Amino acid sequence: MNREDLKFTLSVLRRSLDGDAFTHVVRHTPHADIADELEALPVADVAALLQTLQPADRTELFSHLPERLQDALLPALPRPVVVQLFETLPSDDRADLFNRLSEEAQAQLLPALAQVEREDILRLAAYPEGSVGSVVTSDYVAVTPDMTAQAALDLIRATAPDKETVYVIYVLNAERQLLGTLSLRELVLCPPDSRISDLMRKDPVFAKAEWPRAQAAELIRRYDLLALPVINGGNRMIGIVTVDDAMDIEKEQDATQLARFGGTAMMGGPDLDIRESSIGQMYKTRVFWLAILTFFGILTSTFVAGQEEILSEVIILAAFIAPIIDMGGNTGSQSATLVIRAMAIGDVKLKWRDIWFVVKREIPIALGLGVTIAILEAILAYFSKGVGFDVLMVVGLTMLIVTVLGGIIGALLPFAARRIGTDPATLSSPMITSIMDLLGVFIYFYIAYLFFGHLMG
């Protein structure tokens, strides 16, 4: 069914509340598409539609709805339905959902759940947001090392419906410590009486529950895993992170990197989200960076104010302050973002060899850019304002030096950020602007003095 048909069908179904028809849609249409269309409907209609479904279909669809919609639906659904959702949702989704409830709602919900579910939720929900533990699911297949391949396959057949993935099997000892992993592929291909202990891959890649969740996503990507086992302080396995969750984590992480570069990350605080962050948080984080820029800007403007003498002699110099400081910042942004990008995909690391490689490439490019821009600016300045040759020389030389310096400093800043342990994207942009402003006006007026100093005193 294409999206137009789906939209139409749902608009009909929300009035007719035909359970059979909606069930058919749910079982034959990708849930991500249904979720998109449901977002546009009134919450009460979505709640009514959900209640026309069988519990299994309802839980499956609910788990694919965006968090905003899930949160809006819970108060609109009858209590038995909410309890049933919490009992059947995948364990990572329901732990998140639980954490988003108010304390009151949490207290009301817990007694209604069976003990197994209640303990599972509380255990997973205890992990701090942003940690690996917060994205873990406890629905994984565990076998013991002495089992045969056939016994393992039988276990999988019996428990598969409740498992997030059966493609990776985890071998645990009696203390639930992780001994090794095995893939379903290997299990299917080997003789049925093989021992798990002979088949399993020892020393598996793993993550600890307290690590940042982005680290789990990176491990999954680096080692091409379908799922990553997660252990707690006692080396006991608590769950897994699956590759689809890893993709979502990385998507959000990378999208955030750009926002950080634009100056919207609190050092060591949460990143801003245009929907999720409150107006207060947005204001506080953004004013922090703008205030830093204002302070640095005062240095620049104080310096320029001190150049009153030469400015009154050659007033036209004021006109070029803007293009000059712009150029330094822009060339710096270019080289900084190129380096940050290379760091993100692992092409460049914090090593002297890589720093030298980057600088060695940047110098000729920045020189070429500087010469081109200096000449271009001089030509345009001449034809637009008919300025004198000496002013052209001052502007041109400054443009050249500022462009080259901007490129090199911009290339080095991400390394400096990594060195002091900050995220390169967060540190680079405000630093580039501030540094190149100050350097720009220093160089500009110094060169201006060389040419026009004779006019004064």
Residues in region 371-400 near its own copies by CB under 8 A: 372-373, 376-377, 380-381, 384-385
Shortest Å distance, C-beta 289 to its own copies: 7
> Stretches 10-18, 69-77, 110-118, 300-308: which one binds its own copies (CB under 8 A)?
300-308
Q: Which residues pair with 202 in a beta bridge?
A: 180
Whole-angstrom Cα distance, residue 238 to residue 137? 8
Print the binding letters for residues 197-236 with its own copies: x by CB under 8 A, - otherwise. Answer: -----xx-x--------------xxxxx-x----------
**Of the candidates 62, 289, 445, 452, which one interacts with its own copies according to CB under 8 A?**
289
CB-nearer residue toward its own copies: 71 or 273: 273
Which of helix, strand or coil describes residue 175?
coil
User: Does residue number 456 form part of the binding site for its own copies (CB under 8 A)?
Assistant: no
User: Does residue number 157 form part of the binding site for its own copies (CB under 8 A)?
Assistant: yes
Shortest Å distance, C-beta 168 to its own copies: 10
Tokens of 330: 């822009």
User: Does residue number 273 form part of the binding site for its own copies (CB under 8 A)?
Assistant: yes
From the number of C-beta atoms within 10 Å of its C-beta (0-12, 13-18, 19+), residue 377 rates as: buried
Name which of residues 97 to 136 contact its own copies (CB under 8 A): none
> How many CA atoms lie within 13 Å of 368's alpha carbon, on the beta-carbon side?
5
**Of the candidates 272, 355, 401, 413, which one interacts with its own copies according to CB under 8 A?**
272
CB-nearer residue toward its own copies: 267 or 287: 287
Tokens of 46: 């979505």
Name which of residues 58 to 77 contact its own copies (CB under 8 A): none
Shortest Å distance, C-beta 275 to its own copies: 5
- Among 182, 150, 157, CA closest to 167: 182
User: Does residue number 452 form part of the binding site for its own copies (CB under 8 A)?
Assistant: no
> Stretches 17-25, 72-80, 170-178, 335-343: which one binds its own copies (CB under 8 A)?
335-343
Within 306-351, where are the H helices?
308-313, 321-344
Shortest Å distance, C-beta 240 to its own copies: 15
Q: How many CB atoms lie within 10 A of CB 252?
A: 14
Whole-angstrom Cα distance, residue 9 to residue 348? 51
- Among 408, 403, 224, 444, CA closest to 321: 444
User: Does residue number 320 form part of the binding site for its own copies (CB under 8 A)?
Assistant: yes
Beta strands in 363-411 (DSSP E): none
CB-nearer residue toward its own copies: 113 or 366: 366
Crossing angle for the helix pair 31-38 and 3-16, to the nearest 10 degrees: 60
- Residue 17 region, left (φ>0) first, then alpha (ψ -120 to 50), else beta? left
